[in-house]
Amino acid sequence: MPAKRKPQAGSSTASKRKLGDKSSDFEESDSQASSYEPSPKKKAKKSKFRQKSSPDAFESPSAVQHTEKSKISHSASIHLIHSPLEVQTALLQWYAGVHASRGMPWRKPYNPLLGPDERAQRAYEVWVSEIMLQQTQVATVIPYYTRWMEKFPTIRDLAAATVDEVNALWKGLGYYSRASRLLAGAQKAVAKYQGRLPDNAKDMEANIPGIGRYSAGAICSIAYGEHVPVLDGNVHRLMSRFLAVHAPPKSKATLDILWGAAAAMVKPKKHIKVSSAQRASSPESTLESTRYPGDINQALIELGRLLAGLYEFPTSSDVAKTTSRTAQAKIPHALLTQLVVPSILPYDAKRKETESQHECIQITSIKPVGDVIHVFSHIRKTYRTQWVIIRGGETPPKLKIGGFEGSTVPELSFTDGGGEDGLSASPRPLDAMWVPFNKVSSANMGTGVVKVWNSTKELWERDIDGS
């Protein structure tokens, strides 16, 4: 998914990261389970998976370095969404608060009462926006979109236009072949479909030039309410992290997993029969009726896109390469100041009987995990990771984020590595950034997995036990 709906410029490191980048590989061999290999590549393109010879400092105790292309030995089921409803709820709740924030003129609330013609008009609008968004970021597209709709309010207006008129409006967007396909698509829709874009993704993709799997899914879910998935670069990034996928990002196996996950998100729920009277009185059913596939897809895209407001684990920047192992072990204690915590006991201090578990937190263990290299554009960053166990407190400590201390923790937490990420929004609990320990890699180091809030307690307790 190269050129596409670009993430907000300069927002964060993640926008430049290659998902599944294998610049370094640490995967704890995880004995059991099936062996899942992302698409059997023909010849051994070993060079592509450059190995990292663990430099200086220390060796990672649990990391295993592979000399061959690593195979992932775990059940493929970890890459499935196990409670789509739960995730959907959190996602839509998040989206409800941001969907209108960027003033996208093509984004309108889904109206299930619309008739065929009105839906087709919506499809036209979404279509134009989607094609423009494939190559340009939202802020830039808006004025182009507005001008376009003024000149060609309906698909019939577009169909009647000349290439020159279209190109004139497209000027500055580049990729003119898209503009000409837009025109060709409109003409075909008028000539063969009574001026209405096909109302289902399959037909749309098969018959309208310039519309592929992604666009068909986006347009049909948003305009027609069809339960079809979308997977663009943003959703790819989101789902990769959510499911802790660490594999060649473009391989068929990886794509299959991600499309499957995207499909699970919009899978229609066999709704329980509710009378309109019940619906009116039950907030539950009201929410249920609000779960339109188009909203889910847009929410996924939106969450995967800017990427600002992402969080990383507490990090100390610019640590000298020569820092000794002993000196490094002292860093985590200083990092506690980045957390919202009750009083802190020194690492080595013996806990006095009088000191309540709840009033004090204390680091009880610090272990080097190994180095993780994060490469994005021209920057190459080494994370010297340490596994720190913190004991005490009633709940997982939250990250102190400038000015937002104490605000509400959203149900969805999404984090990213990279020190230059804009840290905004509300503080996240540390455990919301939890990443399966055996999956620490360049692809997800410092990257939190989106977690549904009500599942974090369990994770927290499990981590404390060190199991």
Q: Which residues bind DNA (CB under 7 A)?
A: 1-5, 39, 134, 175-177, 181, 205, 209-216, 232-234, 236, 250, 252
Q: Pull the structure tokens for residue 243.
A: 């499911």
User: Which of 313, 459, 326 is CA-nearest to residue 387?
Assistant: 313
Q: Least distance from C-beta 459 to DNA, angstroms?
A: 31
Q: Least distance from C-beta 143 to DNA, angstroms?
A: 21
Which residue number, 249 or 332, has a Cβ lying nearer to DNA?
249
| Long-range contacts from 421-424, C-beta under 8 angstroms, 24+ separation | 421/11, 421/12, 421/13, 421/14, 421/307, 421/308, 421/310, 421/311, 421/312, 422/11, 422/12, 422/308, 422/309, 422/310, 423/309, 423/310, 423/311, 424/308, 424/309
- Give the Cβ contact number of residue 117 at 10 Å: 12
Cα dihedral value 128, 131, 135, 136, nearest 10: 20
431 vs 458: CA distance, rounded Å = 10
Which residue number, 236 or 428, has a Cβ lying nearer to DNA?
236
For the chain, helix (H) and strand (E) counts, in that order, are 15, 9
Q: Least distance from C-beta 133 to DNA, angstroms?
A: 8
Annotated active-site positions, please?
A: 130
Which residue number, 175 or 376, has a Cβ lying nearer to DNA?
175
Which residue number, 55 or 212, has a Cβ lying nearer to DNA?
212
Q: Least distance from C-beta 31 to DNA, angstroms?
A: 28
Q: Least distance from C-beta 442 to DNA, angstroms?
A: 21
Helix (H, G, I), strand (E, B) or coil at 219: helix
The single-letter DSSP state of residue 245 is -
298 vs 20: CA distance, rounded Å = 24
Which residue number, 214 or 434, has a Cβ lying nearer to DNA?
214
> How far is CA 407 from its chain centroid?
23
